[in-house]
Amino acid sequence: MTGKLIDIEGIDKSGKTTQIKLVLEKMKRSKHRIKLLRYPDRSSRYGKILDNFLKGKFILGRYEQVLLFLLDMLKDQKYIRKEIEKGNDILLDRYFISTIAYQTKDKKDYENIKKIIESINLIKPDLVIYLDIEPEISLKRLKKEALKAEIFESKLRTLKNVRDTYLKMRKEGFPTRNWKVINASKDVMEINSEITTILEKTKKNT
């Protein structure tokens, strides 16, 4: 029995962090074998550069960003493959889908970044769970939490473009047709119940 690669995505303040924490707690209680990876991995050599960039300490070109994000993921590919082969599921807090969504400015970027990803043969997720909220809600949550925004979080136009790109990938079935879109403006526990149900069905179909 092989494990599944499950990617949880969403624009900023969609509730990913909260939902991932709840999912891991539930899975641990049920003895579900699941591991978590977050991108960027801010403790890695690539992630440290990206962390400073996201905090606005310096500027990186669009394709510099893309390559650093992908390098951060490439370093874990051997580990992911090994865990999946052992029957363990891997839960991803963002993956290359996020890189496409956030680093795409126009149609040319969109196609170019997809080609780069396909050329390096990153392991494709078996399931994408997309927590969908309107960009206006994202900004309201950011203001309510009184947090300092990272570079992609504070502009409505940027968030709208990111959301549109996510939904475009879902419509295209890239990189998998197995997308599950959840309305992330609902109650936290209601969202968690939906995610749990999806994961349980995914495990049964393994």
The distance from CA 168 to its chain's CA centroid, rounded to whole angstroms, is: 15
Q: pLDDT tier at 155 (50, 70, 90 boundaries)?
A: confident
Whether residue 148 has pLDDT greater than 80: no
Whether residue 205 has pLDDT greater than 80: no
Instruction: Show the domain range for 190.
Output: 5-204
**CB–CB of 92/6 below 8 Å?**
yes
State the amino acid at position 51 in one-letter form: D
In the prediction, which pLDDT does 29 show? 82
In the prediction, which pLDDT does 113 show? 97
Q: pLDDT tier at 41 (50, 70, 90 boundaries)?
A: very high
Q: pLDDT tier at 86 (50, 70, 90 boundaries)?
A: very high
- pTM for the complete prediction? 0.93
In the prediction, which pLDDT does 144 show? 78
Whether residue 44 has pLDDT greater than 90: yes
Q: pLDDT tier at 146 (50, 70, 90 boundaries)?
A: low
CATH number of the domain within which 79 lies: 3.40.50.300
User: Residues of the chain with pLDDT > 70: what percent?
Assistant: 94
pLDDT digits (tens, 9 = 90+) for 89-103: 999 999 999 999 999
Q: How many domains does the chain have?
A: 1
State the amino acid at position 129 in one-letter form: I
Sequence-distant (6+) residues with CB within 8 A of 12 are 138, 142, 150, 152, 153, 159
Distance CA 23, CA 76 (A): 22
In the prediction, which pLDDT does 116 show? 97
Distance CA 119, CA 108 (A): 16
Q: Is 6 exposed, middle or buried (0-12, 13-18, 19+ CB in 10 A)?
A: buried
Q: pLDDT tier at 151 (50, 70, 90 boundaries)?
A: low
| Mean pLDDT, rounded, for 191-204 | 89
